Structure 1
Amino acid sequence: MAEFIGAPWSVIGDPSGRTKLRRLARAAWLCLMEARPVVQVVFVLRYVVGVGLAIDQPVNLLHVALGALAWWCAIVFAYLINGVMDVEEDRHNGSRRPIARGDLALPTAGVFTAALALAALGIAWCVPGLVGWVAVFLALGWAYSASPFAAKRHSTSCAIVVFGLGWTSYAAGVTAAGGDMGSAVPVVFASVMAAWMALVGAVVKDLGDAEGDAAAGRRTFAATRGPQAATRLALLGAVLVGGGAPVAAAIWAPEAVPGAAVLTVGAAWVTVECRRLRRSKQGDRGARRSAYRAFMLTQYAANAVMLVVLATH
């Protein structure tokens, strides 16, 4: 293990072909685990919903498949570079992801990060109109975690970047399917889902990590004001999105109402979890992540409902 951790290029220079392939496969697997599979899935789901929003016209399945591969590479890039840049915070917060626990070397992860960015751009060139969205997503992923921006360090900049990461995922799916992001349904649904990420997810994700984030110098709302104050901000975001999403959909994109309505239910759930946390005064890290779990499951449900609506339309 020590040899693997300390020698990022050993996966290339090992004299034994089988050993080299095993190490390369292990490094790739650890990179995938570092990049948070649950989050990868929901980002791909956003792309798939985007494709569904454009299926009222002929779709080139090869373009859709290549677009999905390019987008997945971009997603893994964004979350792998986040793991590389967040190692101090993750260790403070007791993370068990591969970099934090010492199973994946930072230089090794860096090599894979660069390769993923190049792969995402290269594959995207094969899909008309997609490379621009991929480039924007890669730039946002970099800006979220790395210098000179490191948007993760402040709640406002974090929310802005997170909104962009969500919105572009839907736009990429629409574009790969040959659709137009100028129409009402894609714009409204992408916007309300991205708002859910920015105003709710970007806040509740920090509730369980406030101490480690503060120790690493982050200036998020949870790190500077504490989890109790952050829950109030999350409650406000949940009310705004949960109340506003179905109204916006009803006015401008009635087809998106079922998916948007799920956010209202999810907002109520997040509210319950936040109020429970506030009553508990502090709670352990697991308890403080309950609102984040509610946020994540709501995302899955809203996108799944929208897929059903599009499939039966």
Structure 2
Amino acid sequence: MSIATPAKTLIPTTTPRSGKSAGVLGKFRLLALCAQESRYAVQVIFLLRFLVAGTAGTASYVSHLTIRPSLVLGAAVWFCSVAFTYLYNGVTDIHEDRANGSVRPIARGALPVRFARTTARVLAALALTGGAVLGPLMFLVTAGMLLLGYAYSAPGLALKSRTPGTIAVVVASGALAYTAGALSGAAPLSPALLAFSAAMCLWMGMVGAVAKDFSDAEGDAKHGRRNWTVVWGRAVTALIVSLSAVGIGAALLVCAVATAAYGLLAPAGVVLCGALALSAAALTARRDDSRARRRLPYRIFMVTQYAAHLVTFAQPIA
């Protein structure tokens, strides 16, 4: 009679060390999703606003550019502030985003809400700490940005629910970005820089903050938002956005010519051309257009402000 041999105990191939590595990689993957949720394009444009105010376009002349440590730290602080704002917005917008067919990480279920909320809190703490290191004024500006981000999205406040509240938050956040750059950099505050910053803040508020709703009106209405696209309809809102865009571009161009601020001519021309393209896209849109087509005016808005800021690095506007 054969005697059965005991079965060998299988040793798991995954060691505690490799399991720990997998956990670390998982955290990095979630952090990458947090970065995606906070919208790369938005992070970069806020950084450009910050740097334009901090250098006033003198980046084109290396001999005139002084990269102060405070400018680098200030940029990191501002990144944390903006990332908090948009990550927290993603946490609170989950139902609207899903109704509108968004594929952002939180909306599609790839990024847990709890992890995103915790990361947002850490970003806010880092921003405040860095702001305090840079001085009391920078701390106040940073705190102001964080408060705006919270008020925009927080249940009970939710300034995002109505267009006037959205415009106010967007314009103020733009103004704070330029202020933070000026505080952190070494560039002088010239009338030309102030005019450019004011025009771009209005561009953000009266154009981008309104045009972003063109593609999401159905989901916004379903969840109780009362923005202009929902209240007044697409056609009326498109006309308001178009007039605002062209008016801002024309006003900046007139300002450049009237004050002989020739450094403003190029960015003013970019804004006016972008405004005309945006108006054409907004005014020719139809109700049955795809979501991508309805989002075209916002994309033109974004490309225009990118181009306007990048142009300032080709020549000083101070």
**CA 117–209 in structure 1, closer or farther in 2 if over 3 Å, else same:** same
Contact residue 74 and residue 138 of structure 1 kept, 8 A: yes
Shift of the alpha carbon at 1:164? Answer: 1.0
Q: Tell me the percent identity.
A: 35
Larger Rg: 2
Contact residue 55 and residue 186 of structure 2 kept, 8 A: no
**CA 253–209 in structure 1, closer or farther in 2 if over 3 Å, else same:** farther
List alignment gaps of at least 5 residues for structure 2: 1-16
Partner of 2:49: 46
- Larger RCO, structures 1/2 (Cα 8 Å, 6+ apart): 2
Contact residue 228 and residue 282 of structure 1 kept, 8 A: no
Partner of 2:156: 148
CA offsets 1:71-116 (integer angstroms, 9 cap, x no match)? 1111111110110111111000000000000111111111000000
Partner Cα distance (1:150, 1:15) in 2 = 44
Q: TM-score, normalised by structure 2?
A: 0.87
List alignment gaps of at least 5 residues for structure 1: 1-13
Give 1:261's match in structure 2, choosing from 262, 269, 280. 269
Partner Cα distance (2:161, 2:33) in 1 = 25
Partner of 2:29: 26
Partner of 2:305: 299
CA offsets 1:176-196 (integer angstroms, 9 cap, x no match)? 014565x42232111100100
Counterpart AA for 2:86: Y
Q: Secondary structure at the match of 1:308?
A: coil
CA RMSD of aligned residues (A): 2.2
Partner Cα distance (2:242, 2:57) in 1 = 34
5 Å-filtered alignment, 1:73-88, equals 73-88=80-95
Q: TM-score, normalised by structure 1?
A: 0.88
Shift of the alpha carbon at 1:246? Answer: 1.7
Contact residue 105 and residue 111 of structure 2 kept, 8 A: yes
Q: Secondary structure at the match of 1:101?
A: coil
Is the aligned partner of 1:131 residue 2:131?
A: no
Q: 1 or 2, which has the higher helix percentage?
A: 1
Shift of the alpha carbon at 1:252? Answer: 5.0
Give 1:272's match in structure 2, choosing from 258, 272, 280. 280
Partner Cα distance (1:53, 1:250) in 2 = 19
Q: Mean Cα displacement is larger for which, 47-56 or 78-87?
A: 47-56
Partner of 2:116: 109
Counterpart AA for 2:192: V
Is the aligned partner of 1:167 residue 2:175?
A: yes
Partner Cα distance (2:131, 2:316) in 1 = 25
Partner of 2:10: none
Moved over 6 A (4+): none
Give the count of matched residue pairs: 296
Contact residue 55 and residue 65 of structure 2 kept, 8 A: no
